[in-house]
Structure 1
C-alpha cells in the first residue's frame, strides 16, 4: 500500500482555518459574527504556533541529528506553512480594513483602526489613560544590561523607538499593554456615534507625555507565542496534581516559537528585538498593526441585528411524559442533540442520580469541566447523600488543566473518589455510569457522548448524548472504569477480547473499525450495496485511511464530513475515486462523531468520542458505542443526510484545491438551520 498518498496534517489544518476566515468574508453572515470569525481564526492560529510548531521543530531537530531523508520534506513543510499563513494574514487584514470597518462606520460605529484618535474623544481617552491605564505600565529599557526582558506568552507589548534628549543616543523601550487587567477596547458615545479605541492606541497617544527625557520616533506592537507543551515522565510517581500545577506555572515561560510584529517596524528595531529576547530560532512573522485579534470576540457592540438569530434550545420530547428521567431511560433509550435540544436533560440525569434513593454508585469521566459546573455540583451532592461517587479527571486536557485541578480538589474534599490517568495515556472518553439497586435487583443506567460533559460548551458545540439502560453494553462500561482505576499502561490480552459492544481505544477500537470497513469491501465484491458515511472532527490515522482507500478501490461509496484536519486525499483515480469529503463551518462548532456502515441495508451506526487521529487511536482511552434503538438510528441518519445535502455552509475538499463551494442545483440547504427546525418540530 506504499502507493497511497496523504495530505500533510498541518497544511490541512491551515486550510481548515482558512475556511473559518472565509466566514469572516461572507456577506451572508451577520456583521458581528463575521468579526467573531476573525477572532476565532486568530485564536486558532495562536494555538497552532503554541502546539504544532514546537512539534515540527522537534521533528526537524531529530531529522538533522539522525540525518534522515525526510529532512528536506520537513523544511518544505515549514516553508509552505509560512507562505500559507502570510497569505491568510494578508486576507485577514483586507477583510477587516476594507470590508468590516467600513461596514461598522455605515452603522455609526467608529472602530479607530490604525489612525489618530479623533479629536472629539481625546479628553475622555486622556482621562482614561491617566486614571486607569497608567497604573499598569512598566517600561523596560532594552539597552540596560540588567534589564529582565521576557515577554509572556501571547501577551501584548510595544516597542517604543526613542532618542535620549540628554545624550542624543537611540534606545528601545519595551512596554506592556495591560489587556489582561483592563478591557482591550475603550468605548464611548459622542454625537450619535460609538467610538471604539484600542488600548494600545491610547497608550501610544499619551505615553510620550510621561517620557519627558525622550523624543519618541516610533511605536510598534508585537507579541511572542511560546511552546505550550506540558510533558510528564511516563513513570512519574509523585503528586500528579502538584506536578501539573508546577508545569502550568511554567507554561508561559516556554521557548518562543513565533514573534509576530508590526510589518512597519524598522529592520534595525527587529534585529535588536531578536538579539535582546533571544528569538533567533523563532518564526518571525510580519503582521498587522494590532495583534491578539481573538479579542475581537469581546468588541463592545450590543446591537442584536448584527448577530445570528437566536435559536432557543428546544425541550427534549421526553419532557412531555410523566415520571422521572431515570425511570423513562429504563424503558427506552434517549438521544439528546446539543445545542439544538436543551442540555437540561443531561443535567437532570445527574441531578436525579444524586437524589434517587435507589442509586448506590456513580462513575464519570471528565475531560473539560465547565468553569461553574452544575454536573460537578451534582456529583458532590451525590457523595454527601451517601452514594459512592468515582470521577476520572483528566489533568492533561490542554489549556483546561488548571480548571480541572480546581474541581478535582473540590470534589476530593467533599468525599468524591478522584482518579487521575497515567501521564502517557489521556482519557478522552465521555461516559457516565449509574448503579441502581432495588431489592435484590441491580441495574445500570449509562450516558455515552460525543462531547465533553460541559454545559458551557454545550451551548455552541454540536454533540450527541445517548442515555441508555442496555445492560450488556453498560457491563462493558463498568469494565472500562475498572481498567481506569487500575492505572495500567496497556490492557491484558483477556481485556482486549472482552468487549462485544463498546469500541474502546487501546482495546478493540481500531480492529473493530477495520472489520466494519472490511465487511463493506466484502459486500461490494459480492455485488451487494456497500457504503460508508462518517462524520469526524479530524482524520489523520493512516491505517484507517488506507482501509478507506481500499474500500474505494473495491467500489464502496464513501461520504466523509470532516471539519478540521483531513489527511485523506479524495477523488484520485485508482486510490480514492469513490470518496467525497465535505466540511461544514457555521454558527455552531461541528463536534459530533458518527460512523455509519451500510451492512447490506441493515445499517451499523456507531458514535463516540474518538476522531481518527494517531493520538485518539494510540495514546488515549476513547469510547465509541453502537446505536440499537431503530427510532434513534433513523433520526441520526436523517440528520447526517441533512448535513451531506448542505450547499450553503458546506464546502468540498478535492485532491488539489481545499474548500470548494458546493454548487446549488436544487433547494438551498443550511444543515444547522434544517436540523434545528426538524428537532423543534419533533414530538
Structure 2
C-alpha cells in the first residue's frame, strides 16, 4: 500500500461535532432548533467520552497516541468555550427578549423563593439521598447522573464532605415558574442547592458544586447460546453503568483539597478530570419547557410516495408492476409499515424474514410480526442484541415476539447483523418473493428525522439471494472462506462487498486511463477503512473525479497533490440527520447505483453483516441521482472539508441551496395532487 495520509478517526469525529455546534451558532435558525443543536452537541460529547475516550486512554503511552489524546482534549476545550459563548451571549439573551428568563449561572431571584421552596418539599425532597464521603460507605456515582459535592462547615465539628443526588431520572431537569409577567426557568440542582439547609440542618455554612462522572460503555460479552442468552445479556447491561470512569466533570471553584478528596474517595485517579461549566448534562436543554411552534422549524408534512393511480390495489399488487423507492422522512413511512401489515394478513404469505437492529419503542413493525406469527405464518427475526444503547429495548421486543411464536435469532458476539432487509415468501407461481432493502433501521420513530432510502421490490433474483443470506444467518455462525454464496446482485460484507466495491472503482480507473468518462459519487455516514480510501486515492491519481458526502468520521484527506487532487468532501448538517448510504459509479455513461446499510469503516467491512443493493429501475435511478445532485449543489447547509479537516462554509453573500428543503420540494412536486 502506498504511503498515503489519513485523518485520525477521533479527531475527524470531533470535527463533525464542531459542525453540529456551528448550527447552534447560526442565528438564522429558529431559537429552539439552535438550542436542540446545543443539546445534540452535548449528547454527542457524552457518548464520545463513554465510547472513544476509553480507547484513547488505553492507547496512551506512545508518542503518537499521547499526541492524539492531547489533541482531542484540546479540541474539546476549544469547542466547549464556543458552546458557552453561544449559550451565554446569544441563546439566553434571545430567550429573555421572548419573556423566558433562564436562570443560568445566577442566583434564584428572591421573589421566587416561596414557590421554589414549596416545589422542593412537595416534589423533590422525597427523592433526596445525601451521603457523607467520610462515612466509610461505598459511594458509586452513576454514569452521567448529576450530583452536588457539598462542603459543610459544622463548627465546632469542622468540615465534612457530602454527595447529594440530583434526581433527573425521576423528575424534570427544569422548573418553570411565572412571576410578574415573566417566565423563569430554573435548574433542578439550583433548587436543591437553595434547600440544602433542610438536608443538613446543623451546618453553619454550606457550599455546593455540580459534578458528574462519565463511565465506559463497553460490554464484556462472550459468545454463548441457549434459552437464557438474553438474561445473560441483561446482566451485562446492568453492569454497563458500573464501568470504569472515563471523565470526572466538576464545577469551577471547587477548592483543590476537596477536589482531591473526591477523586481519592470515588477512585477517580486514572480518570480525565475536567473543569466544566457551572451546569452539566446540557443535553437536557432540548427539554426546556418552552412550547412555542414559532421557535421551531415550520411543520413539514411527509409526502405519500405511492402514486394516485390504482389506489385500491394492495402494496403487494403494486410491487408486481414496479419497484418502489421511499425516501423518509420526506416521504411517509406508512408504505414500509404497510409492507409488514399486508404480510401479516395476506393468506398467500407463508414465511416472513426480517432483520431488526434498533427496534422502535412502540414498534408497529414488531406488532405486525407478532400478528403474522399468530396468524400461522413462519416468522423469523434476526434481532441484534448489541445495538449500542438500544439493547434493553431490543431485548424487551425480542421476548415479546418470541412469546407470540416468532423465531428470534441473535447474532454471535463477534459478528453484528447490521443489514436492513426483509423478505416475504408466499404461494405464487411467478412472484413467490417480495421484499425490501433499506439504508436505515426498520424503525418508524427514527424515520421521522433520519434521511434514508427504502427499496421495495419483487425482483426475484435479488430476493432469492436475500433468502440464501437469511438461511445462512439463521445458522448463527461467522462466515468462513469455505462459505460461498453466489451473490450476483447483492453486495454482502463478509462475502463479496469489499471485493465488488474495489472492482467498481478499478473499472472507473480503467475508463480514466482509456480517456473515457469516469466518476464516483459516494454518500456515507463514516469513511474510515484504509483499503477503500487508498483505492479512492489511486482513482484520484488516475484522474477520476470523486465527490464524497460524509456526515461524520472521515479519514480521507482531500485536495492533496499526488494523492487526492480530484477528491472533494462535503458534510451536510440540517434539520434531519443525514443517514443514507449511496454509491454511484459513472461507468462510461451507464451509471451503476448501489445503496445499503454499510459505511466504509473497519467494523462494517470486517466484523458485520452488511448488505448493499443495486437500483435497476431507470426512473428510480434518475430520481436518486437528482436527489444526490441537489446535495452536491448545497451551499447553505453543506460545508467543504479541506486538507486541514476544517469545516469550510460556502460564500453566503448570495442565498444558497439548502438541499433538504430542495429535496422536499422536489418530492412534493413529483407526488400526486391528492397528497
- Deviation at 1:399? 0.4
Distance 2:330 2:392 in 1: 30
| Residues 636, 139 of structure 1: alpha-carbon distance in 2 compared, 3 angstrom cutoff | same
- Deviation at 1:58? 3.0
Match status 1:663 vs 2:651: yes
Task: Give the CA RMSD over aligned residues.
Answer: 1.3
Q: What secondary structure does 1:575 align onto? A: coil
Distance 2:217 2:349 in 1: 41
Cα contact 1:347–1:374 (8 A) shared by 2: yes
Which position in structure 2 is the counterpart of 1:576? 564
Which of 611, 628, 638 is the matching residue for 1:640? 628
- Deviation at 1:165? 2.4
Match status 1:489 vs 2:493: no
Which position in structure 2 is the counterpart of 1:299? 288
- Deviation at 1:154? 0.4
Distance 2:143 2:309 in 1: 51
Cα contact 1:160–1:216 (8 A) shared by 2: no
Which position in structure 2 is the counterpart of 1:15? 15
Distance 1:300 1:326 in 2: 45
- Deviation at 1:180? 0.7
Cα contact 1:330–1:469 (8 A) shared by 2: yes
- Deviation at 1:354? 0.5
Which position in structure 2 is the counterpart of 1:427? 417
Which of 157, 162, 169 is the matching residue for 2:147? 157
TM-score by length of structure 1 reads 0.96
1:81-118 Cα distance to aligned partner (Å, 9 max, x none): 11001111111111111110000001110011111111
Distance 2:606 2:471 in 1: 20
Distance 2:104 2:263 in 1: 27
Cα contact 1:236–1:423 (8 A) shared by 2: no
Match status 1:105 vs 2:93: no
- Deviation at 1:566? 0.2
1:303-358 Cα distance to aligned partner (Å, 9 max, x none): 11110111110111335433000110111000000000000111111101101111
Cα contact 1:317–1:682 (8 A) shared by 2: no
The 5 Å alignment of 1:97-246 reads 97-144=88-135, 146-167=136-157, 169-234=158-223, 239-246=228-235
1:616-637 Cα distance to aligned partner (Å, 9 max, x none): 0001000000000000000010
Cα contact 1:154–1:224 (8 A) shared by 2: yes
Cα contact 2:246–2:271 (8 A) shared by 1: yes
Which position in structure 1 is the counterpart of 2:443? 454
Q: Which moved more, 1:385-394 or 1:228-237?
A: 228-237
- Deviation at 1:209? 3.5
Which of 275, 287, 292 is the matching residue for 1:286? 275
Which position in structure 1 is the counterpart of 2:27? 27
Distance 1:473 1:596 in 2: 19
Distance 1:541 1:254 in 2: 29
Which of 569, 578, 595 is the matching residue for 2:583? 595
Which position in structure 2 is the counterpart of 1:365? 355
- Deviation at 1:492? 4.4
Q: What secondary structure does 1:6 align onto? A: coil
Distance 2:389 2:223 in 1: 20
Which position in structure 2 is the counterpart of 1:474? 463
Q: Which moved more, 1:625-634 or 1:213-222?
A: 213-222
Distance 1:483 1:664 in 2: 52
Distance 1:401 1:426 in 2: 13
- Deviation at 1:217? 4.0
The 5 Å alignment of 1:398-413 reads 398-413=388-403
Cα contact 2:637–2:658 (8 A) shared by 1: yes
Which position in structure 1 is the counterpart of 2:67? 76
Q: What secondary structure does 2:427 align onto? A: strand
1:353-386 Cα distance to aligned partner (Å, 9 max, x none): 1011111110000000000000000000111111
Which position in structure 2 is the counterpart of 1:271? 260
Which of 554, 559, 563 is the matching residue for 1:566? 554
Cα contact 1:430–1:453 (8 A) shared by 2: yes
1:427-473 Cα distance to aligned partner (Å, 9 max, x none): 000000001113x5561011100000000000000000000011001
Match status 1:93 vs 2:81: no
Distance 2:413 2:564 in 1: 38
Distance 1:290 1:321 in 2: 57
Q: What secondary structure does 1:486 align onto? A: coil
- Deviation at 1:487? 1.1
Cα contact 2:57–2:69 (8 A) shared by 1: no
1:399-419 Cα distance to aligned partner (Å, 9 max, x none): 000000000000000011111
Q: What secondary structure does 2:453 align onto? A: strand
Distance 1:486 1:236 in 2: 12
Distance 2:587 2:203 in 1: 77
- Deviation at 1:285? 1.1
Which position in structure 1 is the counterpart of 2:44? 44
Distance 2:300 2:214 in 1: 36
Q: Which moved more, 1:616-625 or 1:312-321?
A: 312-321
The 5 Å alignment of 1:251-266 reads 251-266=240-255
Distance 1:45 1:221 in 2: 18
Cα contact 1:335–1:465 (8 A) shared by 2: yes
Cα contact 2:355–2:383 (8 A) shared by 1: yes
1:276-298 Cα distance to aligned partner (Å, 9 max, x none): 01111111111100111111111
Which position in structure 1 is the counterpart of 2:300? 311
- Deviation at 1:263? 1.9
Q: What secondary structure does 1:338 align onto? A: coil
Stretches of structure 2 lacking an aligned partner (at least 5 in a row): none
Distance 2:273 2:351 in 1: 54
| Residues 435, 131 of structure 1: alpha-carbon distance in 2 compared, 3 angstrom cutoff | same
- Deviation at 1:648? 0.6
Stretches of structure 1 lacking an aligned partner (at least 5 in a row): 65-70
